[in-house]
Amino acid sequence: MSEKVGDFIDSFISKMNDRREVKENEYLGENGLIHCNKCHTPLQCRISLNGKDTIVSCICKCRQGEMEREKKRQEEEERLRRIQKLKANGIQEKHLLEWRFDVAENSKDIQIGKRYVKNWKKVRGDNLGLLLWGEVGSGKSFLAACIANALLEQGIPVLMTNFSKILNQMGAMYSEERYQYIASFSNFPLLIIDDLGIERSTEYALEQVYAVIDERYKSGLPLIITTNLTIAEMRNPSDVPHARIYSRILEMCTPLNISGGDRRKGISRSKTDTIKEVLEL
């Protein structure tokens, strides 16, 4: 062994060497090694380094437990940060973040939504979309947002948007940018388009709507649509541009009539109850 290597090993051994005084909360065990007062496991162990008996420091059981808990805490923090980011990217309208299964009544529609989330792997694998249709206030958007939040909380990227927003965004783009923007929806395993049918229906707008729907179709990823249109209106559209859009949607999405009663009425009723209570009416 060269002298240099020998020096290096010697200096390494002396660095590793943990011969020291017993500190507070420690004691010297019968084997001559320092132990932790709390968990009574060693803080030192004896090893042979380059033929020399050396005492090196080690981690006692309680410190090991602390480190594991700290690691878990950091992982949990990281998970929550990721979910927060996913939510910020996927749901821009803040009020939708409040629409979750845990604040929903356990209605038939909500149970269907829960099963959709529970069976997500199959839903995604088989590209099972939903067309949630029904009257204003029937809870379609609420159900869609519950699904979005539940999947986001599992770390699955979901984008919930509507065509008015999409068209506004696209308005300022060049055609190449528009293409990239539409393609970017494929980064979301689930795309939810809320309130189909309220966007303007100029020739340009309908072309873009079709482009988004068709791109989704090609990506083979699930799509959820909510709409106030009736299923009859979608099956018998008045013109060709609408017919193209609706037939693609009906190919991808299973229609589900949402008739859960007016949720907003439900909210105002409970507000009435609250104010009666508060004001003792």
Residues 152-211 that bind Zn ion (CB under 5 A): none
Piece of 31-39, 123-131, 165-173, 218-226 that binds Zn ion (CB under 5 A): 31-39
The residue from 9, 13, 33, 39 that contacts Zn ion (CB under 5 A) is 39
Closest CB to Zn ion among 65 and 125? 65
112 in contact with Zn ion (CB under 5 A)? no
- Kindly tell me the sign of the dihedral angle through the C-alpha atoms of 183, 187, 190, 194: negative
60 in contact with Zn ion (CB under 5 A)? yes
Burial class (CB in 10 A: 0-12, 13-18, 19+), 60: buried
40 in contact with Zn ion (CB under 5 A)? no
The answer to whether the CB of 144 falls within 8 A of the CB of 110 is no
Ranked by CB distance to Zn ion, the top (closest) residue is 36
Q: Tokens for 198?
A: 């309220």
d(C-alpha 144, C-alpha 229), whole Å: 16
Least CB distance to Zn ion at residue 72 (A) = 18
Q: Tokens for 27?
A: 């004691």
H-type alpha helices, the chain: 3-16, 61-90, 108-118, 120-125, 140-153, 163-171, 175-184, 203-219, 231-235, 240-252, 263-279
The answer to whether the CB of 156 falls within 8 A of the CB of 125 is no
The answer to whether the CB of 127 falls within 8 A of the CB of 252 is yes
38 in contact with Zn ion (CB under 5 A)? yes
Piece of 56-64, 66-74, 132-140, 222-230 that binds Zn ion (CB under 5 A): 56-64
33 in contact with Zn ion (CB under 5 A)? no
Q: Tell me the site size for Zn ion, rule CB under 5 A.
A: 5
The residue from 36, 49, 112, 211 that contacts Zn ion (CB under 5 A) is 36
Residues 62-81 that bind Zn ion (CB under 5 A): 62
Closest CB to Zn ion among 49 and 62? 62
d(C-alpha 54, C-alpha 52), whole Å: 6
Piece of 18-26, 38-46, 119-127, 269-277 that binds Zn ion (CB under 5 A): 38-46
Enumerate binding residues for Zn ion (CB under 5 A).
36, 38-39, 60, 62
